[in-house]
Structure 1
């Protein structure tokens, strides 16, 4: 399960995966870059292919799950926080040809990547387990929903595609359990019925 860094790690892993696959001719004028709100507020982004997380929500389909430690580990059972990361993919370049080429390539690459696993995320969050997976899925947003998102950003609208990383399970750092249960047996004095000492 991911640590509190799971949200950041998933997006950094996605950025790194796209950078590895990006052809040199596209990277030369528009490298892949994870953007934050402060980056968007500056509005001097230059040439890039942006990834911007516009919403993080709890996955209602996977609530109330727990991480059960392996038998004999003596660790406590921990609740999991299932998170879905919603992000926009958009090119920020000077002309229509580059814009469409970037968007087409990036959507093709995300279809090929399809999921994030420990091999991709482990470098950014070592708590990610070997059997964990988070899928990268396109989101079917209406034009009204997409425009509403852009209206809330400090940028003018750009052609973009919406995606979600589903699901990042965040948990607390492992904590030791209470230890073995110990018992103490007191003898019973048969003559008086009183408990005998240890």
Structure 2
């Protein structure tokens, strides 16, 4: 009787100051990639001080080139005050969407702007998508780490504020499974996290 081999786990985490590092999750053995970068302190300060009811919220499937218009419309709906910082924010999110799409080859993406309170996803997990791009622009960054044999993470790391991370999901094609799990970080005193989430949409069934 032949025993089926267990799928190989992709446990490497690539990090670089080059945004193209996000595309390396397509390499064998890579479960996650982090783009190390600096965000304008003025923009981060503006987001931190913005009342939570004026933080834009968005869930929309769109072409990457339409992201700026969608984010601007979300700002208007949330009554986000007009300012140079709001304009910079629209450009920032649009640029993140362009990078996420380019590094995954996506023609369409699901874009979310989420305001998160508490710890909505406390368990270590893989998302039910091919890949997920996460960038926290306010509050604590996403926690991640390699999974042990019991399914728990053996060493916890946190994505720095403003740094995008790309994680393989459960629907990643091929034989490898991701050995890098992630979760929402614990928060205190009603802290609000604000993050950009981009999921590439597979071309099958989108035409």
Normalising by the smaller structure, the TM-score range is under 0.3
Larger radius of gyration: 1
Q: Could you state the TM-score of these two structures normalised by the residue count of structure 1? A: 0.24
Higher strand share: 2
